[in-house]
Chains A and B, each alone.
Chain A
Amino acid sequence: MSSIQIENVTKRFGDFTAVQELSLDIKEGEFVALLGPSGCGKTTTMNMIAGLEEPNSGKINFSGKSLAGMRIQDRNIGFVFQNYAIFTHLSVRKNLAYGLEVKKVSRSEIDRRVAAMADRMSLSHRLDQPASSLSVNEMQKLAIGRSAIVEPRIFLLDEPLSNLDASFRAYMRAELKVLQQEFGQTMIYVTHDQIEAMSLADKIAIIDKGKLMQYGAPLEIYNDPHNRFVANFVGSPRMNLIDGELRDEGGALKLMVRGGAEVPLSGRVRSDFLNGRMVTGGSIGIRPQDIYFRDRLAPEDIEMHGVVEVLERVGPRRLAYIQVLKTVFLAFDVQDQLRIGDEVKFFLPADKCMAFDLSSGLRLGAAYQ
């Protein structure tokens, strides 16, 4: 087990800066997700932790000590990749035992640990079959099992679930979480899927264009995003982010949206904008589940009118796309009462709307400030 200190690390490939002055402090036994879109630098960051890449500047320490110069195989780091690296010509048993044999663990200990891991991964009945006979789902379980069995002090996983089908992904998420709780290893998990990051990690590092956008516990990030990028990236369905120009009409502050929609601002979101620096371009963020229909619940809530354009079934709920001139708001049709083409009145609760400065993307009036 080990803690990891990443300090001001920069990695360039030719002219391209993959990671820029990134710092992260990962405590012993923590499960940290590196989350971001394709090409954001998350895999490069992981590769530097693994020792597969050297940073151009900055340093990475493990429990305060540098591992520079130490061979990768001596670093005691376990890997699981999207494309499960397993020996398909060997049996499931041999695959599980491989890492322990390399480490010269005693035969009886190997047998004990292989049996325990096979049981935990529900692969006991498959132990003597060739790995090539396994399904895609079972292969990934085997890949995770054979890395976990050597109990590396740091476990790195690069999109390990992205090839699996949806219902199995949900199952493996829970399985990985329990595994980590049991072994207590430091785990770094690379993903572009915010649901995976939210459900698995103790902390999430959100990365965009090589820069750290926010680092914190899943619900901290969800409830208090520091900038527009994080607000947009975390949460499913995504947060409504309505961009426009702020206009003061005799004390009444409005957000004028391109395409003609106007959002009158009141309550907390209004004061967040007014207390911010002199902001001209603004963005308001409101999560779909916070928008409500029918009767106003608070005097400062913002009333809007639009037309239902699309209804989608997303899991147990129906998601409505409501068009206000050229702007679309996502909201949940909780009571299955909307029809396509309906003209509807809806409310944005003012105390749940977040304010962002459009030019810098920074949050105004966040709890952390």
Chain B
Amino acid sequence: MTVIEFRNVVKTYPEFRLGPINLAVRQGEFFGIFGPPSSGKTSILKLILGLLRQDSGEIELSGRDARELEVAERSISMVFQNLALFPHMTGRENIVFPLVEKGSSESEITKRLDFVSEVLHVSHILHKSPAQMSGGERQRIALGRAFAAENRATLLDEPIAALDARLREEMRVELKRLQRENNQTFVYVSHDEEEVMAISDRVAVMIGGVIAQIGTPDQVYSSPNSLAVAEVIGSPPMNFFAGRISDDGASFIGDLLERPVPITATGRKGEAATLGIRPEDFWLADGQQEVGLNLSISSIEPLGGYTIVNAMVGKQIVKIRTPGQVTLSPGQTLRVSIDQRRLHVFDEAGNRI
């Protein structure tokens, strides 16, 4: 069942145009919206909440035209980055706040509070004020407030961006578990690509006010449909090589690559193109699939489980991610091979070939 649907939605600002946006969020789905700052992510949330009205196109909530629904009737909860807890209220008072506002009965409030405390494991901190809670506890109280009233969907705007790196990893798993176990619909907005990719069932990648691609994290990662998506998905980012497709369409001739790279692009013979290679798709070895890159190592980032090698070819930096620990050092030269099954070729307009 579709909970939130956008059809050709456009919203125009003096210096920015959002859309046309088309998307459909399903019941029980963890739907991620990823994009760099000011790509239009927050405008989408505001349109769902009813804080903004579209200039054209339709927004439907569970099949009903959203224009017929007031903000309060939409049954959409929101969790903000700063969590926006009331500092003078206890955990309990923060959670039941929307129910009290709605004028729910005492027994209804007790019932919902019990339910929320159980699923979020917050019974032991209900008496604390936000200032006495840890970052993780505050997040759970903020979620509790979002869950208190039964709702159609919960929108989360960078809810864990302000936490420490290690705590963020823990919270990410926790959020996912809560969403799944309670069959909730989450729309999760973040500019942190790794986080959105890890947590979402499907991801919309926003660039410059439009959705550049929607798909599962696996799809978006392994076949980005444009150069723009390839640039923002993956960390360290994909390496790009300028060049052209050979006259027979069977290989890519790179400006900095000594050897042609076999590809299939028979329809695009001789055209200018860009070859994309992810850092992990290089191998630190000579061999059959050697691409003829003369690399000079500029720095090594030893991360324990893997290593990032930064190397230069001419004035271009190439980032290579290799498993485990290596004994290379800056100044050394390097020959590499590539995984030819995992190449990305884009035409002059930036579309995937």
Chain A residues near B (Cβ < 8 Å): 37-38, 136, 165-167, 169-171, 173-174, 177-178, 181, 192-195, 198-200, 218-219, 222-223, 232-238, 287-289, 310, 312-316, 318-319, 321
Contact A198 B317 (CB under 8 A): no
Known: A166-B192, A310-B173. A173 touches B166 (CB 8 A): no
Query: Quick check: A178 and B299 within 8 Å, CB to CB?
Result: yes
Residues of B participating in the A interface, judged by any CB pair closer than 8 Å: 36-37, 135, 164-167, 169, 172-173, 176-177, 191-194, 197-199, 217-218, 221, 231-232, 234-237, 278, 280, 298-299, 301-305, 308, 310, 317, 319, 321, 323, 325, 330
> What are the 3 A-B residue pairs with the smallest beta carbon separation, nearest first?
A199-B301, A222-B304, A313-B217
Q: Are A194 and B165 in contact (CB under 8 A)?
A: yes
Please state if A313 and B169 are interface contacts (CB–CB under 8 Å). Answer: no
Contact A219 B304 (CB under 8 A): yes
Is B193 a contact partner of A167 (Cβ separation < 8 A)? yes
CB distance from B161 to the nearest CB of A (A): 10
- The one of B218, B235, B330 in contact with A170, judged by C-beta atoms closer than 8 angstroms, is B235
B304 to chain A: which residues have CB within 8 Å?
A: 198, 218-219, 222-223, 234-235, 287
Measured between alpha carbons, how far is A312 from B319 in the docked complex, in Å? 24
CA distance A118 to B73 in the complex (A): 54
Assess the B193–A233 pair: CB atoms within 8 A.
no
Contact B280 A174 (CB under 8 A): no
Interface pair A174/B299, CB less than 8 Å apart: yes
Q: Are B164 and A192 in contact, CB atoms less than 8 angstroms apart?
A: yes
Q: Specify which chain A residues have a CB less than 8 angstroms from the CB of B278 in the assembled complex.
A: 316
Pair count A-B, CB < 8 A: 117
Q: With A174-B298, A289-B305 as given contacts, are A165 and B164 in contact (CB-CB < 8 Å)?
A: no
Residues from chain B with Cβ under 8 Å of A177 in the complex = 299, 301, 310
* Bound CA–CA A319/B347 (angstroms): 33
Residues of A within 8 A of B176 (CB): 310, 312
23 A-B pairs with CB atoms under 8 Å apart are: A37-B166, A165-B36, A165-B37, A170-B236, A171-B236, A173-B301, A174-B310, A178-B298, A194-B166, A198-B301, A198-B303, A199-B301, A199-B308, A235-B304, A235-B305, A236-B169, A236-B303, A238-B166, A238-B169, A310-B173, A315-B234, A315-B235, A315-B280
Q: Are A166 and B177 in contact (CB under 8 A)?
A: no
Question: Are A314 and B198 also in contact (CB < 8 A) when A165-B36, A178-B298, A237-B169 are?
Answer: yes
CB pair A181 B330 closer than 8 Å: yes
A319 to B176, CA, bound (A): 14
Contact B199 A312, beta carbon cutoff 8 Å: yes
Given contacts A222-B302, A316-B321, 15 further A-B contacts (CB under 8 A): A166-B193, A166-B235, A167-B231, A170-B237, A170-B308, A173-B301, A174-B310, A195-B303, A198-B303, A234-B304, A310-B176, A314-B198, A315-B194, A315-B321, A318-B218
Contacts of B193 in A (CB 8 A): 166-167
Closest to A169 in B: B235
Residues in A neighbouring B236, C-beta threshold 8 A:
167, 170-171
A238 to B167: give the CA distance in the assembly, Å: 11
Q: A166 contacts B194, CB within 8 Å?
A: yes
Q: Which residue of B lies closest to A314 (CB)?
A: B198
Nearest A residue to B198 by beta-carbon distance?
Answer: A312
For A169, the chain B residues whose CB sits under 8 A away are 235
| Residue numbers in B under 8 Å from A289 (CB-CB) | 305, 323
Partner of A167, one of B135, B235, B302, B325: B235
Highest count of chain A CB atoms <10 Å: which of B166, B191, B304: B304
The docked-state distance in angstroms from the alpha carbon of A194 to that of B237 is 19
Would B235 and A193 count as touching, CB distance under 8 A? no
Question: In chain B, what residue has the closest Cβ to A196?
Answer: B165
Closest B residue to A330 using CB positions: B173
- Tell me if B301 and A321 are in contact (CB < 8 A): no
B302 & A218 in contact (Cβ 8 Å cutoff): yes
A222 to B172, CA, bound (A): 23
- Bound form: Cα–Cα A180–B138 in Å: 39
Name the distance in Å between B83's Cβ and chain A's nearest Cβ. Answer: 15
Query: Bound complex: CA of A181 vs CA of B182, how far in Å?
Result: 52
Closest Cβ of chain A to B268, distance in Å, is: 27
A192 touches B197 (CB 8 A): no
Question: How distant is A139 from chain B, measured CB to nearest CB, in Å?
Answer: 13
Shortest Cβ distance from residue A143 to the other chain B in the assembled complex, whole angstroms: 18
- Enumerate chain B residues within 8 angstroms of A312, measured Cβ to Cβ: 172-173, 176, 198-199
CB neighbours (8 Å) of A321 from chain B are 173
Q: Give chain B nearest CB distance to A69 CB in angstroms.
A: 36
- Closest chain A CB from B330 CB (angstroms): 7
Cα separation A130 to B99 with both chains bound (whole Å): 50
Closest to B135 in A: A38
Q: Are B218 and A313 in contact (CB under 8 A)?
A: yes
Contact B310 A198 (CB under 8 A): no
Q: Note all chain B residues with C-beta closer than 8 A to A200.
A: 301
